[in-house]
Amino acid sequence: MSNHQIAISSLPQALTYDEATEAIYRDELDWIEEKLRLGLSVLIECDKQLTLYLYKALRARLRRSNAEPRLRCRLISGHAGGEEEESALTANTTRMQRILRELQEVVFSGDNEQIIVLPHLDVLTTTTRSGLNMETREAATLFYENPDLVFLGFKDPSFELPKVIENVFAVRHALIGIPRDQLPTIILQREARKFGTETFNPFALYKYLSGVNAVRCRQILGHLAQRLDFDPAHPEATKAIYHEIRQMTLVSDCELPNVDLQRDLGGYNAVKDKIRSEILDLLLLKDRSQNPEQIKQIEQLVPKGMIFHGPPGTGKTYFAKAIATALDATLFIVSGPELKSKWVGDSEENLRRVFSQARKSAPSIIVFDELDSFASARGTYTGSGVEHSMVNQLLTEMDGFRKEELVFVVGTTNFLESLDTALLRPGRFELQIEIPYPQDDDRKAILDIYRKNFALQISDELLQIMVQKTGGFVDQKYGIRYSGDHLYAIMRGLKREILRRGNPSDIITEEDVDRILQQKQKKPVKLTAKEQRTIAVHEAGHALCAYVLPKCPTLEKVTISTGEDQVLGYVMQAVRENKYVITRAELVDDICVLLAGRLAEQLLIGDISVGSYDDLQRASEICRMMVEELGMGGEAIGLRTVAANTEHTAELGGPRRAISEHAAARIDQEIAQLLETQRQRTEQLLADYRTELQTLVDLLLEKKTLQLHELKDIFGGRTFKSS
């Protein structure tokens, strides 16, 4: 059936729950009947609510007079008979015992011309933390006593059966949700008139009802009977009905977020464009399409799994909420570590339960926060091994999606490279979007949103200053820059300051901003004039070489005002444009920048400080890598790799031959020569631009922080970078 308007007069006028079950699942019921008549035991996975109606439909089919043979059904339910009573404490145990008695009776009766129906397998197969309980063990034994018996069992989607019980059933079939083409068969005329006068599009309802069963669907639609019929003059009434249906399909563990992709998320235009083009625009086209073939094609194209990766605090989960809002989808945020359990089978059951709830609340988005906590590459697990089973269960659930189901899975991680490669193949988490630290325009947009939300009196000029002040590192030692979370914390701090003053109309000043930025310090760092000059000279050396050398990344700013005792100053450079192909010329320029701080101290102060420790380590490591791993040393080593590489060793099938002492000495000589050459080059560079270096030091001591344009002024507007 195509996705177009249908005549309301063609719809049924009344339906019982039994008729609705027959209408939706007719083909599946015929298929199950065929298997039962062939003597195959069948396990049906469905909602508990549907079990009774499916059983009644199958029983009627098996009893039909025109069918051969006519089969009887024996229901094993464990219901108490007569006046038998049971206490709340012993109710489950008593039912299990009654089920076992009934099962034992039919197994040893010798009557094989009947179907044994087990509607409560979850009660029968309740397990302990350590394995099967005694009743389940006894039931498993009975199942295998008479191989000629045919069983019909019902299983809840969120419940796992022990393998010994599941293997009794030769055929398994899942009845989850409603097939799209069958939905119009259970919508009544009076219900359709809430959405149109003569015709209506039933598939606008489908995205809210795709995950519920036929009986639940009829219950939801039955609530529309008292609503007013459709009036073209009041389209808001129809929207209210859709909203009511949306509320009735929610489950307790989900939320309906309200995050607008454009209004509530500042900056990140490239990320937003990708989300629109890859997901939102395609789904909008699907909703508007009248072509069934085009709809099927779109359903195959839309990625159902995506990964947001990037540093902490950049808004990965927030983007997922914005997608959910755009789709009117429910959101399930699942913490990866919270899913894991030390008990066998619990972690997988937690995953099944999440996916079952998401299907019932479709359209929905499941967000696995910290996906790498349980889905890291196989072979790297250090725990109990439960992660391997969880990855397999996750893949099973994702592969089981119907194309028309609007259930999306989002994983967030700070370490994309650590994820299991099986998750990243097409059809699973095939859409991978990086959410990096915000750039200048992004930070300005984010700060502007919070300025409006908190009603802060911040001028545009001060907002631009805040953008500049947050362009550096929150923690330079670990490379942590300002993220969206940091900006949010700053604006909250400013709002608290205004509330303490008691005057909401107070204007925020630059001093207020500086005070908030420095509040995270445990105690202020106090430097002597001599220490300040040494730091200024050191950072000026780095900055000058970063500005002058043509092959190193562009300098963005230099500061000696960090307020931290571990990082007293730093030079910030832009992210290298060519991330994947780095040349030898670029590496030696990087070495020069690292050496420039120490050599500037030697040139202008006549002494050196301990502040070059980290710089020298990094410069030495680059030289070692160039000589030992990249074949970028001198002629003494040549095009030879001498560093141990376990990955390639495994590929080539043998360990690396140990190098001789003579070869090791030549390697050390090459590394020392490379460092010495770049030291001489850096010394000459600083000597050539000594005047500019001294001017840079003086300005740093005065202003504490300098931007790129101020260095450009020092050099009279001259630029050195090659294109």
Active site positions, annotated: 539
CA distance 366 to 401: 13
Q: Which 8-state DSSP code applies to residue 229?
A: P
CA distance 504 to 51: 61
Question: CB within 8 A of 654, min separation 6: which ones?
Answer: none
> What is the 3-state composition of the chain as percent helix, strand, coil, each rounded to the nearest 5?
50, 10, 40
Return the HEC string of 150-164.
EEEEEECCCCCCCHH
CA neighbor of 242 nearest in space, from 227, 253, 257: 227
CA neighbor of 310 nearest in space, from 32, 575, 649, 38: 575
Question: CB within 8 A of 399, min separation 6: which ones?
Answer: 427, 428
Q: Which 8-state DSSP code applies to residue 232?
A: T
CA distance 124 to 78: 10
DSSP for 433-450, written as a single string: EE-----HHHHHHHHHHH
The answer to whether the beta carbons of residues 429 and 306 sit under 8 Å apart is yes
CA distance 341 to 384: 10
Question: CB within 8 A of 466, min separation 6: which ones?
Answer: 443, 447, 458, 490, 513
Question: CB within 8 A of 252, min separation 6: which ones?
Answer: none
Helix axes 214-222, 17-37, angle to 10 degrees: 170
CA neighbor of 440 nearest in space, from 284, 269, 611: 269
Q: Rounded to an integer, what is the distance from CA 271 to the centroid of its chain?
A: 15
The answer to whether the beta carbons of residues 403 and 357 sit under 8 Å apart is no
Helix axes 460-469, 510-518, angle to 10 degrees: 30
What type of residue sits at position 184?
P
Q: What is the side-by-side strand order in the sheet with 555-559?
A: 570-573, 555-559, 705-707
CA distance 371 to 377: 11
Kindly provide the b/e burial profile for residues 448-475, where b requires at least 16 CB atoms within 10 angstroms of the residue's own CB: bbbbeebebebeeebbeebbebbbbbbe
